[in-house]
Amino acid sequence: MRKGFCVLRAFGSAAKTRSMKQAWTTFAARPVPRYTSYPTAADFAPDVAEAQAREWAASVAVDEPISVYIHVPFCEKLCFYCGCATSVPNGYGRIAAYLETLHEEIDLWSDALGTHAGMSQLHFGGGTPNALAPEDFGQLVEHARIAFGRRADLQVAVEIDPRTLTPDFIDAMAAAGVTRVSFGVQTLSSKVQEAVGRIQPRELLVDGIERLRATGITAINMDLMYGLPYQTVEDVVEAAHFAADMGTARVSLFGYAHVPWFAKHQSAIDEAALPGLESRFQQAEAGAATLVNAGFHAIGLDHFAAPGDSLTRAARNGTLHRNFQGYTDDPCDTLVGIGATSISQFRQGYVQNLKARPLWRAAVEGKHLPSERGIALTDDDRLRARAIEKLMCQLWVDADATCKEMGAAPGALDDALETARFLQSAGLCRIDGNIVSVPKEARLLLRTVAQCFDGRYKPAEARHAKAV
Ligand code: SF4
């Protein structure tokens, strides 16, 4: 690893950053979904719940592999910027009680699924999965392996809070066969870290990564952010260099979404210190340019992958997907979400678990799948979901070819092409025949173009984050 560097070396000075086109300003300020699913969770309703979840789970074919997501909604301390479903446990008692219910829910889903081809992906997210005691983590992985069956190519990924990562937890992950770890880095600036209530010196991050590598866990992802209070272009560039210098496999560069009416603890953030739209655009652009200059392959909206990473291969061979974990090379149609608030995905639709933990626990203890709300997909949803996924993954979509692929009538996406024409005049996309493409310089507004294919979008919906 390189010892010292100039944070401006790859991007030049802040003065040289590319500005956002004037015509894009209005679009950049509009709320749009992240399109990690279509329809989005905003369209889930209580008329789709346990009965559908059971029916859909039972229809998974015997030769079909599945993915599993386990949610651990606990953190030692809440970071002010966080929008995740998580809480401070105040002692291990609440975590232990939650774990007990997780084990029971694993058995419920295992029974509901019946015979299938086994688990090919197991993802732990949160919250902070390393809030679990090392032995509890190991037992949870083992239980999931027994209940869902282990495929030879099983990938186990864990999101980690570097501040609370202990040598014992690293050993537990290595023993449990963890193949990939996502490190929440966000920023290296101590001023920004202080402003968001998350202090983690560079040495702590380096030490954690080196320890992981020493145990054989070599695929390290990093989450970085822009748009945080007091953040500058130089901060984002510094973090991007750090990711490159540490040999990171994948980097996600997310914009901070300030929605204190939705995530109450965000009100601890000083709004006056938040960068404006233009600064956010420049930070995102500078971070992306630094990563690409360092050799990363730009993936979709906000991901970057090293040349040898499986995400880069998936992007090159057209097998990239987008699901609740963001961009993925996971080809499974079935994703079982376990834990309070988790979302499961089936060919037929989506179901989300109860959010209130006491209700979730009561449902599981009563031997019910704890599904609270969801949506059954119509043929039109499937068509639009495919078009949106293609656009979000490859930055272009052939509307006619997608209609053909999904068995829809020719012209079924004409309304989307019509809406896209309006964006074309602002330079956000190009339309050649039936192909809508997003130029690389408009990548940050990709969701705005994807929204043209959204047949359920409600302009008044303010719950989504701004496009930039
Ligand atoms: S950012 Fe991560 S560690 Fe911080 S509160 Fe959110 S889930 Fe917890």
What mean pLDDT is predicted for residues 106-126? 97
pLDDT digits (tens, 9 = 90+) for 221-255: 999 999 999 999 999 999 999 999 999 999 999 99
Identify the CATH number of the domain in which residue 68 sits. Answer: 3.80.30.20
Mutate to test the pocket of ligand 1, among 71, 132, 161, 183 (most ligand atoms within 8 A of CB): 161
pTM assigned to the model: 0.94
**Ligand 1 atom with the shortest distance to the CA of 82:** 6
29 vs 294: which has the higher pLDDT: 294
Checking if the pLDDT of 16 tops 80, the result is: no
Count: domains in the chain: 1
What mean pLDDT is predicted for residues 414-422? 96
What mean pLDDT is predicted for residues 165-171? 98
Tell me, what's the pLDDT at 237?
A: 98
What mean pLDDT is predicted for residues 297-314? 97
**Residue 401 maps to a domain:** no
What mean pLDDT is predicted for residues 378-406? 98
Start-to-end CA span in the chain (Å): 32
- Secondary structure (3-state) at 349: strand
Q: Is the CB of 110 under 6 A from ligand 1?
A: no
**Residue 76 maps to a domain:** yes
Cis peptide before 358 (omega within 30 of 0): no
Beta strand ranges found along 324-467 (DSSP E): 326-328, 335-338, 343-345, 349-353, 371-376, 396-398, 430-432, 435-437
Provide the domain limits for residue 117.
41-335
pLDDT digits (tens, 9 = 90+) for 35-68: 999 999 999 999 999 999 999 999 999 999 999 9
Checking if the pLDDT of 176 tops 90, the result is: yes
User: Whose CA is closest to atom 4 on ligand 1?
Assistant: 79
**Residue 330 maps to a domain:** yes
CA of 326 to the centre of ligand 1 (A): 17
CB–CB of 282/14 below 8 Å?
A: yes
Tell me, what's the pLDDT at 463?
A: 62
**Residue 2 maps to a domain:** no
**Residue 342 maps to a domain:** no
Tell me, what's the pLDDT at 74?
A: 97
Name the pLDDT band for 462 (thresholds 50, 70, 90): low
CA of 251 to the centre of ligand 1 (A): 17
**Residue 216 maps to a domain:** yes
**Residue 407 maps to a domain:** no
Tell me, what's the pLDDT at 385?
A: 98
User: Whose CA is closest to atom 5 on ligand 1?
Assistant: 78
Determine the Cα–Cα distance for residues 195 and 457; give it in Å rounded to an integer: 34
**Residue 149 maps to a domain:** yes
